[in-house]
Structures are given as structure tokens and as C-alpha cells.
Structure 1
Amino acid sequence: MRWQRIWQHLKPIGAWRHFDRTAMERLEAVIAQAEHGHQGELRIVVEARLPLRDLWRDLPVRERAVQWFSDLRMWDTEHNTGVLVYLLLAERRVELVADRGIAHAVPQAQWQAICAQLIGDLAAGHQVQGLGIALEALGLLLAQHYPQTPGADDTNELPNQPILR
């Protein structure tokens, strides 16, 4: 199993070509739009493959996503409502990491539905469109559970730029 996983990370990643400059600008705009009307923050990390040290120690994908969540200081938002969408292209895996403020407010079935939709879109070759749909759905969830308080500033606590590695 371990060698099979290593092989997945060594072979060329064809899906990477979908994430050009235009796609990144589009996703950044979708994040900005999806963040209006609530107190949450959204980020995207798309990683082609795990770093060699993490691959060698057989780091689970979920743990890598949590590392990114921490490194991006998503836990440091005012209302603890950050949500990270993490894609690991080599393994075709998607992880959603939600901060404690929003994680407990949203039923697990809703998180799973967003992941399932995104996985289907990715499998169909609709990477950017699928991420856009997922971000919009996450924005609606955040607006439902943590709406913007009347008169409060709609501040952007974290950058909207997707991260590609």
C-alpha cells in the first residue's frame, strides 16, 4: 500500500493544467463573493502531491489539510468560522476543515454533501467549476449559521487567493 501511494505522488499530474492564472483569478473572485453576508472565511489549497517528508511518513490526507488550516491561521478568525477546502490531486482527495465555531453548527451530512458534489465534479473534469459550486454552497452554509450582524463591517480577515503547490 505504501509503495502504491508513493507511486501516485511520483507520476505526472494531468489535472494541474486546469489551474492556470485565469482559473485562479476566477476562484479568488468566487471566494470574495461567497464570503459576503456572513462572518466566515473561506480558503482553498490545491496541492499536486505531498511533500516527500510527509509522503515518507505516510501522513494521512486529513492531517495534511489540518496542517494547512493551522499554517494559514484559519483558526484565528474572530468567530472561529474559517473553512478550508483542500485538494490533493495525486490521490484525488478532498478534505473540508472547518473551525470549531462552524463545525458543530453544521450537520455532518451537509459537509459530506458538499464534498460528494465536489468529488463528482472533479471526476468529471470540472475542477474550477466544481470548486466554485462548493465555495458557493459553503458561503450559503456560513450565511445560514453565522449571518452578518446588522450594521457590522463585512471585513475580510484572510486573503482570498487560492494556494497552489
Structure 2
Amino acid sequence: MDIKRIVRHLFTTHGKVNTAFPRDTLIAIEKAIKACDAEHVGEVCFAIEGALHSAALFNGQSARDRAVEVFSQLRVWDTEYNNGVLIYVLLADRGVEIVADRGVHAKVDPQEWMTICHAMGEAFRQEAYRDGAISGIQATAQLLKRHFPAHRNTANELPDTPAIL
């Protein structure tokens, strides 16, 4: 049990989420997702969570395990071409996890996702949440564009608005 992590999570309130990701930043994230959607047939979903709930925290749930849960809860897996990608931010840990559906996972090297997560995490540690989020979305879009270029008119299957959990 990591006492420092528990304390960080207990003190990461919704107010801190709103400070890190104010309305104008959420709008910028949504616009970035919309702009990137035109470049590929992948589906990007962005989710922000301030802290883990007590039971998950005391059971030692990792950001990765939580991201997989959120991937399922937000139905990111439920796209026609199995091309959904979740960018999950756990603010208390300043952690970023990317979970890709099987269609994307088969084509993108996990190291590429780790590189994006690391860059976003570094920006977040410097409290550059807006820049970190948008650069992460753009980097994700570049990978999707390489493997799933826009070649047909497809419906937007996932909301572009960031999910605040």
C-alpha cells in the first residue's frame, strides 16, 4: 500500500480537475478530436478522472487497470472496424494510459503508445494540461492516419467531448 498515492488521490477533488481542465481546455480537446477525425477512420475517446474511488485505491488498482475498465464502460470497443482508442488521464497520478481496440492494437506497436503517454505525462507534470492533451491527441491521430487513413465517409461512432469521470 502506497500511502503517498492514497493521500494524493484523497486530495484530488473535482475542483482540481476543473482547474487542470477548465471549460476552454475541454472545448479545445473536443475541437482537436474533431479535427483529427477527418484524417483517419479511427475513433478517439478522451477521458479524465481525478482520482480512484476508495475501494479501488485501497485494493491497489493501477491506472492501466482502471483505463481498461473505462474503455469498456465508455464502449470504446463498440466500433464497426474495432478501431477505438481511449486516452485516459488519471489526474491524481498525473498518469496517462492509452487502450486501443483489437483492430488498432494489431497494427500499432505498444511502444508508440508508451511514447505518447510519456510525453503527455511530462506535460502534465509541468501543469501544461491543455498542450499535453492536444499533442497527445494529435500524435494518436498520426498513428491512426498511418494505419487507418481516411478513405471513405464514416460515421462518428464515439463522442468527441471529453468524458469527466
Same fold per superposition (TM over 0.5):
yes
Q: 1:122 to 1:105 in 2, by over 3 A?
A: same
Q: Secondary structure at the match of 2:6?
A: helix
Residue 22 of structure 1 is matched in structure 2 by 24
Shift of 1:15: 5.2
Say whether 1:154 aligns with 2:144: no
- Find the counterpart in structure 2 of residue 116 from structure 1: 118
**For 1:97, what is the secondary structure of its paired residue?**
strand
Contact residue 36 and residue 154 of structure 1 kept, 8 A = no
Give aligned-pair identity as a percent. Answer: 36
Give the letter aligned to residue 11 of structure 2: K
Gaps of 5+ in 2: none
Q: 2:10: which partner in 1?
A: 10
Structure 1: which 5+ runs fail to align?
Answer: none
Task: Find the counterpart in structure 2 of residue 125 from structure 1.
Answer: 127
| Residue 48 of structure 1: aligned partner | 50
Distance 2:135 2:16 in 1: 18
SS at match of 2:77: helix
Q: CA deviation at 1:11?
A: 2.0
Matched-pair contact (CA < 8 Å) for 1:37–1:154: no
Q: Supply the distance in 1 between the matched residues of 2:101 and 2:71 (Cα, whole angstroms).
A: 9
Q: Following the alignment from structure 2 to structure 1, what is the Cα–Cα distance between the partners of residues 26 and 11?
A: 24
Q: Which is further off, 21-30 or 102-111?
A: 102-111
* Aligned CA-pair RMSD: 1.6
* Residue deviations 1:36-84 (CA, integer Å, cap 9, x gap): 1211111111111012221232222111100110011111111111111
> How many residues get paired?
163
Is the contact made by 2:96 and 2:118 (CA closer than 8 Å) also made in structure 1? Answer: no
Letter aligned with residue 71 of structure 1: Q
Q: Spell out, residue by residue over 1:103-134, the C-alpha distance to the aligned partner (whole angstroms, 9 max, x if none).
A: 12012221122112111111122101111011
Please name the residue that 2:72 is paired with: 70
Task: State the Cα distance separating 1:12 from its structure 2 match.
Answer: 4.0
Tell whether the 8 Å contact from 2:12 to 2:50 is kept in structure 1 after alignment. no
1:32/1:160 contact within 8 Å kept: yes
Residue matched to 1:98: 100
Which secondary structure state, in structure 1, belongs to the residue aligned with residue 104 of structure 2? helix
Q: How high is the TM-score relative to the length of structure 2?
A: 0.91
Cα distance between partner residues in 2 of 1:6 and 1:116: 22
Secondary structure of 2:97's counterpart equals strand
